[in-house]
């Protein structure tokens, strides 16, 4: 893979925290482009010998449907009147559309999809969520075939393992279609770390109230808020502003993209991509774009 780095970071904070904290989402506004017919229009023919889902799965496992398309159409035909199947198809179309826009350098539909998913979580998650949870959610909203979580990179071959030799890009997205490969950097700020600056004792209601305040807070004021966290490296509580977290994330994303743009690393002694999930081939230069998604509470 020959890459020409084209770095771009969108500061998505104002787009995310407003919705995560409780506002309604309007998925209907997404631009869905597909040649797939609406679910209920797939077939008007009467199915003489209908089958339940378990029978269909059994036939799939035994390879009784010769082609994948035949399998898919058959499943939809057998279940066209079931609301749950219609919803699954609709959800899949939203994910596909968000992916198409993302690799075309438009992340907004994907952000809308993420907002909608996060808005369905319970308030109790405000005290238990963390960055790995956010990453798992983002991964599930991307097409399995084209997303590579924790892309392994050799950052600096002069350093030892565990001391800066390797790095891991949160999510790398291949451009199956579109013009751009995408590197995503994810940052999550728990409300617990923010409220600790105000209260020593707090409950879920306090977190919910803070969530509502942040939702309407001016961006400049929000970025100056301090966040407390436990540093394993220093074995003590540290304080940092949201703005510093954002800037550190941008710096980190830039460094990952610089390494990705070098292409393949054949061993531990040269910088580049060092991941068996990526096949590096010679090609025309591809564009590489980066986005940082910073989420405060959900």
Q: pLDDT grade, residue 167 (50/70/90)?
A: very high
> Comparing 271 with 17, which gets the higher pLDDT?
271
Check residue 60 and give its pLDDT. 56
Query: What's the token pair of residue 151?
Result: 């892309």
> Comparing 89 with 145, which gets the higher pLDDT?
145
Residues 6 or more apart in contact with residue 152 via CB below 8 angstroms: 166, 168, 273, 274, 275
Range 54-62 average pLDDT = 59
Range with lowest mean pLDDT among 52-56, 134-138, 198-202: 52-56
Q: How far is residue 37's CA from residue 40's CA, in Å, rounded to a whole number?
A: 8
Q: pLDDT grade, residue 291 (50/70/90)?
A: very high
Range 128-144 average pLDDT = 90
Quick: pLDDT tens for 67-117. Answer: 666 777 777 778 778 888 788 888 888 899 999 999 988 999 999 999 888
Check residue 22 and give its pLDDT. 32
Q: What is the 3-state secondary structure (H, E, C) of the chain?
A: CCEEECCCCCECHHHHHHHHCCCCCCHHHCCCCCCCCCHHHCCCCCCCCCCCHHHHHHHHHCCCCCCHHHHHHHHHHHCCCCHHHHHHHHHHHHHHHHHHHHHCCCCHHHHHHHHHHHHCCCHHHHHCCCHHHHHHHHHHCCCCCCEEEEEEEECCCCCCCCCCCEEEEEEEECCCCCCEEEEEEEEEECHHHHHCCCCCCCCHHHHHHHHHHHHHCCHHHHHCCEEEEEECCCCEEEEEEHHHHHHHHHHHHHHHHHHHCCCECCCCCCCEECCCCCCCCCCCCEEEEEEEEEEECC
Q: Residue 85 in contact with residue 56, Cβ under 8 Å? A: no
Check residue 212 and give its pLDDT. 86
- Confidence (pTM): 0.71
Give the bridge partners for 167, in sequence order. Answer: 153
Q: Residue 230 in contact with residue 240, Cβ under 8 Å? A: no
């Amino acid at each position: 893979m020959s890459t020409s780095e084209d770095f771009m970071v969108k500061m998505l904070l104002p787009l995310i925290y407003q919705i995560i904290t409780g506002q309604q989402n309007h998925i209907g506004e997404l631009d869905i482009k597909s040649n797939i017919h609406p679910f209920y229009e797939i077939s008007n023919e009467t199915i003489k010998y209908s089958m339940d889902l378990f029978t269909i799965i059994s036939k799939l496992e035994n390879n009784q449907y010769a082609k994948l398309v035949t399998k898919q159409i058959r499943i939809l035909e057998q279940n066209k009147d079931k609301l749950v199947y219609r919803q699954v198809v609709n959800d899949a179309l939203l994910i596909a559309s968000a992916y198409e826009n993302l690799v075309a350098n438009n992340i907004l539909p994907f952000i809308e999809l993420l907002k909608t998913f996060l808005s369905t979580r319970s308030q109790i998650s405000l005290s238990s969520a963390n960055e790995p949870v956010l990453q798992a959610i983002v991964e599930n909203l991307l097409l399995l075939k084209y997303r590579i979580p924790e892309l392994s990179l050799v950052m600096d071959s002069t350093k030892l393992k565990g001391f800066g030799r390797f790095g891991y890009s949160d999510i790398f997205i291949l451009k199956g279609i579109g013009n751009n490969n995408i590197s995503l950097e994810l940052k999550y700020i728990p409300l617990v770390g923010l409220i600790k600056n105000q209260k020593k004792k707090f409950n879920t209601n306090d977190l919910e109230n803070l969530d509502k305040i942040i939702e309407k807070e001016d961006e400049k004021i929000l970025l100056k808020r301090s966040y407390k966290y436990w540093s394993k490296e220093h074995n003590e509580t540290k304080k940092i502003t949201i703005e510093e977290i954002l800037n550190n994330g941008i710096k980190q994303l830039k460094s990952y993209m610089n390494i990705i743009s070098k292409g393949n690393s054949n061993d531990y002694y040269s910088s580049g991509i060092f991941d068996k999930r990526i096949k590096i081939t010679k090609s025309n230069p591809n564009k590489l774009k980066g986005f940082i998604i910073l989420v405060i509470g959900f």
